[in-house]
Structure 1
Amino acid sequence: MKADVAIIGAGPAGLLLGHLLRAEGLIVKIVERASADHVVGRIRAGVLEHTTTDLLARLGLDGRLKTEGLLHSGFVLADGEQIVRIDLADLTGHHVTVYGQTEMTCDLMEAAPARGLEIFYEAENVVLADIESETPCVRFTKDGRDHYLEARFIVGCDGFHGPSRQAIPANQGGIYEKVYPFGWLGILADVPPCHDELIYASHERGFALASMRSATRSRYYIQVASDETLDDWSDGRLWDELAVRLGPEVGGRITRGVALEKSIAPLRSFVFEPMRHGSLFLAGDSAHIVPPTGAKGLNLAASDVAYLSEALSLFFKRGDQEGIIAYSGRALARVWKAERFSWQLTHLLHRFPGQTGFDRKMQVAELRYIAGSRNAQASIAENYVGLLL
């Protein structure tokens, strides 16, 4: 088989890139190791920046987003005693949209056949070859048959553990990483949210987040030690802990319910540089991971895709190589700013092992400063809604 662009990974980054390139008339094929059901079953982010929703609108794939997405003009920081609302609309003129990554993936996936976007699910033994040439290829096995896909470019949208980044020689890239000594224990339940906006809480006992997927489905998280397991946390214990960490005003409004899904996600910051090697580009989690504290992961993948789709379109239409040469530096400039913001919020809101009373007082003082400073709130809001592309 041949294509202009071969994409590894049919998550939201790969699907979004595929649709954008197909809209420009390019031949695109996507290779995905998991099944379609597994891809849409991944429970992930749910807060979309306006830059991400703008891309879906450009593709005409925002119909369900517009009817089911929840527009949020602000969010809340809390410390157990005080609630500080960050007014995104007033401070930046923008809002964010709560719309689950699963829903976005479904929208992109369902539109693929009609738009000529071919996806090979359940591809095994995926191997990238000749990535330093102008005729790179992807080899894989599907339904017992070997396949060979030749393209002008390959884009790795296959996540942290995918084969794309591993195809780059070790001496051709650098890794920057910080692994945090805790994780997020999350619970998804069909209960109404306790508040109409997200609440990020910094409590003496640890971080907590009150979020939602819809007006009838809630998503909550609490910080847990890295060695804790789901067996340590019954539903009842988790609901009790959420009520404590979110504070009496908010905790009293929590509606408890049976867990539809419960999981523990480790936290890490990770960046691989550069995001291009020869004819291979990296986008999304294959190149960078951010703690979920700042709601940046999916949105960073979308900004990578926006830069890359523009660069590839110019290359195939005009032979212009400027965009593909500049892609890595342009994407990484935004990545590092998002890493900084997520790192900053993570340190502000979580309890770290060995943290002293002084350290906790500094967290509280910072939250008090934010509460009384419009400039501090504006800085947070600007980063939260998403820096300009």
Structure 2
Amino acid sequence: GSPVVVFDNGSCYSKLGFAGADTPQSSIVTVHGKTKHGGVILGVNHPSCFVGGDALVRRGLLKLSYPVQRGKIVHWDYMETLWEYCSLKELQVNPSEHFVLLTESSDNPLSNREIMTEIMFEKMNVPGVYVANQAALNLFAAGRKTGVGVDCGAGITQSYCLRDDFTLGNTGCTSIISSEIPNHLISLLNQTGYLVRPYYDMDMVQDIIKTRCYVAESLKEETSKGESEISQIYSLPDGQTITLKNEQFLCPEALFLPELIKDCTNMLSVPDVVHQTIQQCDETLHNTLYANVVVGGGLSTFPGFETRLQKELTEKHPASNINVVGVENKLHSAWTGGSILASHSSFDNMVLTESTYKECGNSYIHEKFGHSVPPRTPKSARN
């Protein structure tokens, strides 16, 4: 039959392609643009509506909206337009001829899952749909059936536990600290005397994050180094330069010390997210889970990320043999896991078909895709 279409819609990028491929066929910015005069959106071909890069290059003429924020879909009409565009333009397929795998965050509300499914069946007319957890898909991408999948994306950091391919009940945890990283870098640069604007200079900010920032193994040791050891020159498009110093490691340091950012004191760090997730599982499984921590997602690409995470998890649970590994191609690791899952011989039996959906309704959605959605863990509950 027709290959399964895999959509991984992140807060920053949407990855899309066909099951069985190693990498997504396309990756577009998860952004929707609408003409400022308030024209009605009539469809993906209407000139008042643009998505992805087509919207960004017209940002001066459009009102931009980001339909996925902090891991959750918040603008459904815009998300529907983006799904249509991805199917018809990027993949050039008729959605009614393909099963679809969608991804969701560990704290995606049940109501959101219902709306996702409703749009797929009633607006895009797909014959079947499956919704998979993004963090768990990192485990599939790494070829593992048991462990803790960790997805450190642009909008949310999340984790989820699996044992032999089955979710371990209500075992997941999230933090939105990763969504604060760009503004944290802007604040650090402004403190050193550079004028960096949150909207107009965001391309530069994202590039510095991707190309110059790194995670220190020890904040104390890194801070004690001389400027000559860590300084780097960053060239701007107009020929001017910025000298980057401590900002390079203080920016991603917030993933491990959220209190570095004002108003983020109560957010969980990445090690806390992993630790809390494992602590929700039966104690007899802790050693196995700590030995299989698999990380992916865009913000896990910082040099030194796995080393630091392993160090902090070892401090939290010294009795276990901690093993943190990174997925190959972290930028689209959840998509790759979805591609592997959707190409499995049993996937057809996992899919919720249109006929079953019409017969059983929303209640069956959660039976098919899993009952429980893990709550965000407050900092007061840390161990």
Q: TM-score, normalised to structure 1's length?
A: 0.28
Q: TM-score, normalised to structure 2's length?
A: 0.28
Q: Select the structure that is richer in strand.
A: 1
